[in-house]
Amino acid sequence: MALLPILEFPDPRLRTRAQPVQQVDAAVRKLIDDLFETMYAAPGIGLAATQVNVHQRVLVIDVSEGRKEPLALINPEILSREGIEETEEGCLSVPGIYDKVTRAERIRVRALDYTGKMIEFDADGLCAVCIQHEIDHLDGKLFVDYLSDLKRTRIRKKLEKERKERATAGRSRPRIEVPAL
């Protein structure tokens, strides 16, 4: 398994629409394993392949407290939505930013699992929110797209400034004192 670099907003690659997986093979299962390792290390509760610059319709989630319920979804589809719920969301691709987003409270999902078997299930609460959030990533959409233009612009500027500061700090050289003659 490998830790994969997570793209950060406003990276344009996050806007790429992921393509359906044609066959669940060893390469797809390795991607899933790498996504889980990356998500747990981040730490997060969900990660879509798009976030690591792999544009296949694959996502992983684990909303359990003890990280004991990993769920991989390949080519996920939301079949139905019920209710409306507003919850605070964050995102590994938008680090340190949290805001309220309105989503369906309950969803019915169909996808392929880790082995390639078709599964269909109902999800609610945090699991439903997480699946909808990650499917948005596969469609090239971020949770900040649900916010106002002003908020999104402020977030972009803040993250760009932080990235620039990190890059500058990484390149700083120790100052060499030259004795006066």
The catalytic residues are 134
Nearest CA-CA partner of 50 in 135, 110, 155: 135
Q: Who contacts 37 (Cβ-Cβ below 8 Å, separation ≥6)? A: 1, 2, 3
Local structure of residue 57 (DSSP, 8 states) = S
CA distances from 143 to 118, 122, 148, 166 (A): 28, 22, 11, 24
User: Residue 137 annotated as binding?
Assistant: yes
User: Residue 133 annotated as binding?
Assistant: yes
User: Residue 55 annotated as binding?
Assistant: no
Binding-site residues for Fe cation: 91, 133, 137
Annotated binding site: 91, 133, 137
